[in-house]
Amino acid sequence: MMTTKTTEGFDTPVEEFRAEVRQWLSENVPAERLRPWTTKEGFDQHRRWERTLFQGGYAAVDWPVEYGGRGAGLRHTITFAEEYYRARAPERVNMGGLYLLGPVLMQYGTEEQRRRWIPDLLSCSTIWCQGFSEPGAGSDLGSLRTRADRDGDHYVVNGQKIWTSMGGFADWIFALVRTDPEAAKKRKHAGISFLCIDLRSPGVEVRPLTMVDGTQGFAEVFFTDVRVPVENVVGEVGQGWQVAMSTLGFERGAVFGDHAKFSNDVAALAGLVHHRGFADDTLALDELGRVLVSTEVYRANVYRLAALAEAGGDLDRTASINKLYWTEMQHDIFATGLRLMAEEGAIVGDTSAIDENDPLTARAWQEWHHRYWYSRGAMIFGGTSEIQRNIISERVLGLPKEPRPS
Ligand SMILES: Cc1cc2nc3c(=O)[nH]c(=O)nc-3n(C[C@H](O)[C@H](O)[C@H](O)COP(=O)(O)OP(=O)(O)OC[C@H]3O[C@@H](n4cnc5c(N)ncnc54)[C@H](O)[C@@H]3O)c2cc1C
């Protein structure tokens, strides 16, 4: 049995907790698969599911009790995720809030901000999105131009964000804005602040963007004279770069337990190999073996990082390595699947050529495609693979810095 360090008051042994979670999921996971969250109907279904999860006390088991978590340790978090994926429970939809803003508020937020935003975030009453990228400011995020000028006890925001995941469904956005454009003349990362903005404010316009698979998971967000109370700045005014780097650290770092998701994907791939009659094909088995090994390595690494974190170790240096590894591994899984599907793998959107009697249903084909395209995007968001390689070479390995324009 695994042992773990937990917050005072949460002392359920891990295996007992596993049995409790398994029972709860068996009673609560919807019998019917939910529609994809990229549709309005599907998003509402996922939101309702998140509320059920919150009411069950499982929205974020490792968060402090006072903010709606369970105060459990990392091993419990991993156990919960393993059971969650085992039960094939619905995809989580408040990722920006859960994995990015929540941890940022714990680190930089005021007590008032935590109490104001975290419980609604956990129950999914408020969906959050991330407003960092702009046209001309992606990898080079420090070039962002959205301004927030102080006017009494408000900021007046003008500018544009792009590639905002879930922008069309979100209620609030946490954005990087320039509160001191003068400071940027000396150093472009200076004078930036991290500002939370209600997307229903007058002057906000959200324009959905259609993705390559036809779904609308992205949006552009335009701000024209949007008034935002000064108390919505998280961290120090002008120190938003530091908060942004922590946010990206959370985005790139280990999501404890997601190895179970990839194991499900490899199991699906094994099913595909059998289904297509490749069980004796050494080339197909080679491909399957490669992705199986990479997911097992990833699982072992998640356990290693959890042990390191519990011992008080610093995970900062591992964030970029982690992101590079899981995104490339995930892409390999889905690209391998498409190769094995052969001609069916080339079908996007049009399912008319798919045999409905196929044990892998038309819906499953489509989902595989969707996940394949998502896996390509994952190698871009949170900093592209090239940027992660630059960070690893410069900051982890101490190699010479890439040439930059002076
Ligand atoms: C699925 C998905 C979801 C996203 N969600 C969000 C979101 O919710 N919120 C948000 O703010 N943004 C989001 N983004 C945007 C994402 O952060 C940016 O796309 C990313 O940072 C790259 O910026 P860019 O698109 O401007 O490309 P660019 O920065 O223009 O890069 C173009 C190419 O040049 C390469 N390149 C650039 N600089 C270097 C360098 N120094 N060394 C080597 N190669 C380099 C890049 O690797 C890339 O291949 C999302 C993107 C995707 C794909």
At residue 278, the pLDDT reads 87
CATH of residue 345's domain is: 1.20.140.10
393 CA distance to ligand 1 centroid (A)?
19
Q: Does any domain span residue 202?
A: yes
Task: Locate 171 and state its tokens.
Answer: 């209620």
Residue of minimum CA distance from atom 35 in ligand 1: 386
At residue 355, the pLDDT reads 52
Q: Does any domain span residue 79?
A: yes
At residue 363, the pLDDT reads 62
In this structure, the answer to whether residues 273 and 382 fall within a common structural domain is yes
In this structure, the answer to whether residues 290 and 389 fall within a common structural domain is yes
The C-alpha atoms of residue 176 and residue 159 are separated, in whole angstroms, by 11
130 CA distance to ligand 1 centroid (A)?
14
In this structure, the answer to whether residues 296 and 380 fall within a common structural domain is yes
Residue 345, CA distances (Å) to 219, 272, 348 in order: 28, 12, 8
The C-alpha atoms of residue 158 and residue 178 are separated, in whole angstroms, by 10
Q: Which atom of ligand 1 is nearest to the CA of 139?
A: 29
At residue 9, the pLDDT reads 61
Three-state SS string across 283-329, please?
HHHHHHHHHHHHHHHHHHHHHHHHHHHHCCCCCHHHHHHHHHHHHHH
CB burial of 77-87 (b: ≥16 within 10 Å; e: otherwise) equals bbbbbbbbbee
Q: Cβ(142) to ligand 1 under 6 A?
A: no
Residue of minimum CA distance from atom 51 in ligand 1: 381
251 catalytic, yes or no? yes
In this structure, the answer to whether residues 233 and 262 fall within a common structural domain is no
Q: Cβ(322) to ligand 1 under 6 A?
A: no
List, for the chain, all residue ranges whose pLDDT scores fall below the cut of 50.
1-6, 349-354, 356, 359
Residue 63, CA distances (Å) to 10, 50, 71, 334, 335 in order: 11, 16, 5, 32, 35
At residue 273, the pLDDT reads 85
252 CA distance to ligand 1 centroid (A)?
14
Q: Does any domain span residue 7?
A: no
Tracing tokens 């968001």 back to the chain, one arrives at 381
258 CA distance to ligand 1 centroid (A)?
23
> Domains in the chain: how many in total?
3
* 30 within 8 A of 21, measured Cβ to Cβ: no
At residue 2, the pLDDT reads 34
Q: Cβ(377) to ligand 1 under 6 A?
A: yes
* 122 within 8 A of 166, measured Cβ to Cβ: no
Q: Cβ(38) to ligand 1 under 6 A?
A: no
313 CA distance to ligand 1 centroid (A)?
30
Q: Cβ(384) to ligand 1 under 6 A?
A: yes
At residue 342, the pLDDT reads 66
Q: Does any domain span residue 332?
A: yes
- Which domain range does residue 189 map to? 128-239
At residue 404, the pLDDT reads 73
Q: Does any domain span residue 208?
A: yes
Q: Which of 127, 133, 390 to mutate to test the pocket of ligand 1 (most atoms within 8 A of CB)?
A: 133
In this structure, the answer to whether residues 218 and 314 fall within a common structural domain is no
In this structure, the answer to whether residues 257 and 387 fall within a common structural domain is yes
Overall size of the chain counted in residues? 406
* 226 within 8 A of 147, measured Cβ to Cβ: no
At residue 368, the pLDDT reads 81
CATH of residue 33's domain is: 1.10.540.10
Q: Cβ(215) to ligand 1 under 6 A?
A: no
What phi and psi values does residue 221 have, to the nearest 5 degrees? -125, 125
Q: Could you report the per-residue pLDDT of 251-285, keeping only the tens digit for each?
A: 998 778 899 999 999 998 898 888 778 889 999 99
Q: Which atom of ligand 1 is nearest to the CA of 167?
A: 8
In this structure, the answer to whether residues 40 and 63 fall within a common structural domain is yes
Output the pTM of the full model: 0.92
Q: Cβ(381) to ligand 1 under 6 A?
A: yes
The one catalytic residue among 251, 356, 367, 386: 251
401 CA distance to ligand 1 centroid (A)?
20
